[in-house]
Structure 1
């Protein structure tokens, strides 16, 4: 008799369950400050609470297909209607559905690194090959390289994915580069998880009207502050959305997150307050730390910041350990790259947390 392990498809053997160690730590030790997972530091607005309570009373009923919230998303983005929108259990599930539609074992996904880890996870689980094209490190900036992405294309390329703004570097790719990639006709996923912080005028959603291969992904986990509700969506040509939607697990988005999402999308005043707070706090941190010799601060248009202390002789992981031990701040590591080991990352926290962070960085770099 065969062992159960022999029945697994070969490409998932040995892949462990994804566990976010820093989130596990934060829940295990709630006295620590969560400045590591690009969460919004503000709790949901009263209008969202009202929706949660209202629809919690209907949790005994299956949800519908989300035509109302999909219609609202289409309206916000200048698209024709709900047929241009697919919703998911966070943008992570949206990526999973998109990848399942295009990728077969042995085929390739091109990503621009450093970037969000979900692309690798969803590619691996389908037996795909991940092709990582590094950004250009120049003049203390990490720059997009669309030409290098295009040079990486082969007959096996089935998906190209670009985060805009990029996580963790925080910057946008220029509009012409998106057109270059879209012109290939290859399925092109543009991850706009953080675009609301800079404003929807920075979105590439208009490309979906001209290019049927372009898909925009978004989430309500960031600027809208609903990471725990798990609500994301994709925007694309209606025929593409219709076909990708065949992969949907029935009732993949629950009644409560669906209507909570609608309340959040309609509460434009709350979104603007969060956006203004985030962007002013990024400026505060930049100004407060700009005089530290050898510390590189990468300009961010998201709710996170990347730093490099290599030129000051500092190791990023040691900065993270210091912040947790001395201030109770959980920061995020960034693997060494470009021959430099001083990288570390932060999430914008509350005013108090951001000032604690500034103190921690100043103290560590003064040692």
Structure 2
């Protein structure tokens, strides 16, 4: 296992991060996975044995069950682990038990600490933007938690570029703690972060921790053109089929991943993960599993490196459609490199 800085912080995290969304399986989250403690502990131990030191959960995952299970599973090696959890989602019918208000953040942090069985959270992530709470209130509350020693670093997830940049500006202006990372959907079938967010992250020095790197399982290799949809697959469940996919492009990407994987004696899933590890700004890729063999395969993704030519091939197959103002900026930037085209 290799390790990288989380953004420009001094924190080193493994290239793969084990997500605990499948731990517990209560209510809505049952469609993702319903692992009990023994099954979850087995996956955690496998990850630890492979050198993973980064683990991610959230208070809303199975209404706190995921935090409880993960906290118990890592207890013996807590000081060696970078533990991330999230806050933002609704946790009860209480009108204030949601969002990024000072009240909800502080109450939620204390509850997460209790469920995780720990005195501190290494990375406390805002699960999404809160449109009604001023960023000054949110970031002030987070800074207080850092100063109290309950939280060590803060991060964002599912923010737009303007929301993230505004948050960074508010932190600078008020001498608050700054986000060190962004957790965002990123894969060969979901490269939207490259329009605005990746340039922002590279400019400001934040680390990117992609979620759903296999596109909800589409890039695992079990979805192929002209073959029936697997009956037990996540994408056959309406709740999990929320990631938009251009199927023709997606099937072509999977075919290319298979060829590249074969060149490295690897699996299609490994190739999809390896591709992301070659991309700028990525600090650690979040992986999840419900079965040991899935995790065992994913963990091998860091044992080899895709060549620049293979990355370029996948870049071309999965390239984004130009949108305004990007196509206009690309045209205007030409005058910085080519005088002849303008005179």
TM-score (ref. length: structure 1):
0.28
Greater relative contact order (CA < 8 Å, ≥ 6 in sequence): 1
TM-score normalised by L of structure 2: 0.29
